[in-house]
Structure 1
Amino acid sequence: MSEFIKRLQERRLNVWEQAKGLLDAAEGEKRELSADEEQTYQRLNADLDKIDERVKEFQEGEQRSKDAEAAFADLLAKPASGQRDEAAQGEAAKVRAWLTGQSGARSYDVRPDSPMPLDVRTLSKLTAGAGANTVPISFYNQLVQHLTENSGVLSTGPTVLRTGTGEQLQVPKTTAHSANAGIVAEAGPLNANEPVFGQVSLDAYKYGFLLQVSHELANDTAVDLLGYLATQAGRALGNGFGAHLVTGTGSSQPNGVLTASTMGVTGGAGAAPTSDNLIDLYHSVIAPYRSGNSVAWLMRDATVAAVRKIKDTTNQYVWQPGLTAGVPDTILGKPLYTDPNMPAVGAAAKSVLFGDFSTYFVRQVEAIRFERSDDYAFNTDLITYRAILRGDGDQVDTTGAIKHYVSA
Structure 2
Amino acid sequence: MTFHAALETKALETKALETKALETKALETKAVLPPLENKAAEPAPVRSAVDDVAAAFAAFKETNDERLRQIETRFGTDVVTEEKLARLDAAIDAARTRLDRMGLERARPALADPLTRDDGAAQEHKAAFDLYVRAGESGGLKRLESKAMSAGSGPDGGYLVPDTLERTVLQRLAVLSPIRAIASVQQISGGQYKRAVSTGAPVTGWVSETAARPGTDAPSLAQLAFPAAELYAMPAATQTLLDDAVVNVEEWLAGEVETAFAEQEGIAFVTGSGVGRPKGFLASDTVANASWVPGKLGFVGTGNSAAFAASNPSDVLFDLVYALRAAYRQNARFVMNRKTQSAIRKFKDADGNYLWQPALAADRSATLMGFPVTEAEAMPDIGAGSLSVAFGDFRRGYLVVDRTGLRVLRDPYSAKPYVLFYTTKRVGGGVQDFDAIKLLKFA
Q: TM-score range by the shorter chain?
A: 0.7 to 0.9
* 2:267 equivalent to 1:243: yes
Q: Tell me which residue corresponds to 1:204.
A: 228
CA deviations on 1:353-391 (whole Å, 9 max, x unpaired) are 0001122111110112222122333xx222110111212
Question: Post-superposition shift, 1:59?
Answer: 5.1
- Where do residues 5-154 of structure 1 align in structure 2 (5 Å cutoff)? 5-31=46-72, 33-58=77-102, 67=110, 87=122, 96-101=130-135, 104=138, 105=141, 107-110=158-161, 139-154=165-180
2:190 is matched with 165
Shift of 1:88: 5.9
One-letter amino acid of the structure 1 residue matched with residue 133 of structure 2: L
Letter in 1 for 2:261: L
Q: Report deviation, 1:146.
A: 4.6
Q: Aligned partners of 1:369 and 1:35: how far apart in 2?
A: 56
CA distance in 1, matches of 2:121, 2:212: 71
- Map 1:235-314; keep pairs closer than 5 Å: 235-260=259-284, 262-267=297-302, 268-272=304-308, 274-292=313-331, 295-314=332-351
Which runs of 5 or more structure 1 residues have no equivalent in the other structure?
Answer: 78-83, 113-137
- CA drift at 1:49: 2.4
Instruction: Indicate if the aligned counterparts of 1:299 and 1:353 stay in contact, CA closer than 8 A.
Output: yes
Q: Does 1:369 align with 2:407?
A: yes
Runs (5+) with no aligned partner, structure 2: 1-41, 142-154, 285-295
Distance 2:86 2:248 in 1: 37
Cα distance between partner residues in 1 of 2:81 and 2:201? 50
- 2:375 aligned with 1:350: no
Question: 351-360 or 214-223, which moves further after superposition?
Answer: 214-223
SS in 2 for 1:305: helix
State the Cα distance separating 1:174 from its structure 2 match: 3.5
Q: Aligned in 2, Cα 1:324/1:374: closer, same or farther, shift over 3 Å?
A: same
Residues 343, 350 of structure 1: 8 Å contact kept? yes
Contact 1:151 1:243 in 2 (8 A): no
1:125-144 per-residue CA deviation (whole Å, 9 max, x = no partner) reads xxxxxxxxxxxxx5335423
Distance, in Å, in 1 between the alignment partners of 2:44 and 2:439 is: 39
Q: Could you say which structure has the higher strand fraction?
A: 1
Contact 2:235/2:420, CA 8 A, preserved across alignment: yes
**Structure 1: how far apart are the matches of 2:166 and 2:255?**
11
Compared with structure 1, are the counterparts of its residues 308 and 33 closer, same or farther at alpha carbon in structure 2 (3 Å cutoff)?
farther
Q: What TM-score results when the alignment is normalised by the length of structure 2?
A: 0.71
**Cα pair distance change 1:193/1:354, threshold 3 Å:** farther
- Return the offset for 1:194: 6.9
Q: Is the 8 A contact 2:71 2:77 kept in 1?
A: no
The alpha-carbon deviation at position 3 of structure 1 amounts to: 1.4
Distance 1:282 1:193 in 2: 33
| Displacement after TM superposition at 1:26 (Å) | 2.4
**Per-residue displacement from partner, 1:51-91 (whole Å, max 9, x unpaired)?**
23333444556678x948x75xx87x8xxxxxx97756996
CA distance in 2 between partners of 1:362 and 1:256 (Å): 10
Choose 229-238 or 280-289, whichever is displaced more. 229-238
Contact 1:178 1:193 in 2 (8 A): no
- Cα distance change, pair 301–371 in 1 and its aligned pair in 2 (3 A): same
RMSD across aligned positions (CA)? 3.4
**C-alpha separation in 2, matches of 1:279 and 1:301:** 20
Counterparts of 1:51 and 1:159, CA distance in 2: 30
- Where 2:47 maps in the other structure, the secondary structure is helix
Residue 70 of structure 2 contacts residue 77 of structure 2 at CA under 8 Å; is this kept in 1?
Answer: no
Q: Is the CA contact (8 Å cut-off) linking 1:360 and 1:394 kept in structure 2? A: yes
Shift in alpha-carbon separation, 1:63–1:353, aligned structure 2, 3 A? closer
Kept in 2: contact 1:175–1:397 (CA 8 A): no
User: Is 2:429 the counterpart of 1:386?
Assistant: no
**Looking at CA atoms only, which structure, 1 or 2, has the larger radius of gyration?**
2
Distance change in 2, residues 1:374/1:251 (3 Å) = closer
Going by fraction, where is helix more abundant, 1 or 2?
Answer: 2
Between the aligned partners of 1:39 and 1:109, the Cα distance in structure 2 is 54
Deviations 1:11-68 (A, max 9, x none): 211111111111122234444653222222222222222223333444556678x948
Matching residue's letter, 2:355: V
Instruction: For 1:193 and 1:334, locate their aligned partners in 2 and report how far apart those are by CA, in whole Å.
Output: 39
Q: Could you tell me the percent identity over the aligned residues?
A: 24
TM-score when normalising by structure 1: 0.77
Alpha-carbon distance in structure 1 between the residues aligned to 2:98 and 2:408: 31
